[in-house]
Structure 1
Amino acid sequence: MIPTQAWADAQRLWDFQQMGHEPRPCSVAVGLGSHDLGVADTTVDLYRRGMMPVIVFTGATSRTTRERMPRGEAEHYRERAIELGVPSDAILVEPRARNTGENIRFSRALLEERGVPVSSVLLVSKPYEERRSYATARKLWPEVEWVSASTPMAFAEYVDSIGDARLVIDMLVGAQQRLMVYPRRGFMIEQAIPGNVTAAYERLRTSGFTSRLLADSMTRG
């Protein structure tokens, strides 16, 4: 049972992660690999709406996907997209990335290798990692315009779809910590973080939602 205060704090982090971008036509879409096949579904929906001619799915495996996506996150995303009607020649697969920075760097290298001209990118992520992904992409590939996108779902609806509230809240806390710590390490651009968001993060961390925190950075951001 998740306490009422923890739900409220998680909702605040969820809301902060939303960038509020309106999807628009871009050169390509980059779908960030994860445990959530909804990223692939949303990328497919954007493709059907004519938002991009080329999709890159990027991601190896992680501790949360090793069993459910044994062929790698990007490959499972590709299979899902083809099942939903996307032609295979519209999809590029980047199978090595193990973190968001590698997702961006390796996707850029793949697109350059294939000669795909890129001026703008639809960056498709899990809903609770929009801001973290955007800040990373802006840092690592500042020459292009980034438009954030994710499955349009309410927090409670998303938790129900995943079926594991603690996992989702742990991920939210981990994403928030990285927004606070990574700019100082040169991994992403700085984001202005409201005080009530920082307070919500601190309460959740103190309450034990810590499984996705950086092992070497258990201090305040």
Structure 2
Amino acid sequence: MIKGFVCAVLFFSHLLFPLARSDHQTDVWILIDLWKRRLYVMEGSQVKKEFIIGVGKEQTPTPIGKWRISDKSRNWGGGFGPCWLGLNIPWGRYGIHGTNRPGSVGKDSSHGCIRLLNTDIVQLYQMVPVGTRVEVVGPMLGRDEWQLKKLVRGDRGTLVMLIQHRLLSAGYYQGQPDGIFGKGLEDAVKKFQQDHRLPVTGQIQFREYVELGLIE
């Protein structure tokens, strides 16, 4: 992975999805740190509980951003453990759940969901209701050892939403950023490429990341 990140990109989640000030708050919320592979149950600015988690792999990263617990259920079966906490991520079905592979916790091991040990997810399930806010922070462009991802029409994820916001602010993208690489974004990328004398492919690769100011 390219190491020459612009500092603003490493912390883009705090700009695109700014953390709400919690100095005077007493609400319970969840902070997920992908760098440390930790989930924190917060009360205001204080940590109430800490859990080790498994997070998304290189090809299926965990979505970074500000979300909410949209639903709760028990006994999904299979590899999801005893409890499920769904997240309101617009481009797919993601959640916080248990696992039948305890050795995968603490690693980049999932398809984007957050894995906890089964004993831990039972505790978490009892601590947070539907509607609880969930802040996921981490490396926006992936870990240093990961390859820079090529984005094409049909891709989904936080990185797509980042591109949408960049092109929206530059006047190229007219849609609502939703993390889905559709025709509208493809057309915006092509116009951006034309204006910057890049090959007009409608795809995001190294040179597009550079021109968008995401790497240096």
TM-score by length of 1: 0.33
User: Which structure carries more helix by proportion?
Assistant: 1
Q: Under a length normalisation based on structure 2, what TM-score does the superposition of the two structures give?
A: 0.33
Instruction: Indicate the structure with greater strand content.
Output: 2
The structure whose RCO (Cα within 8 Å, separation 6+) is larger is 1
Structure exhibiting the larger radius of gyration computed from Cα positions: 2
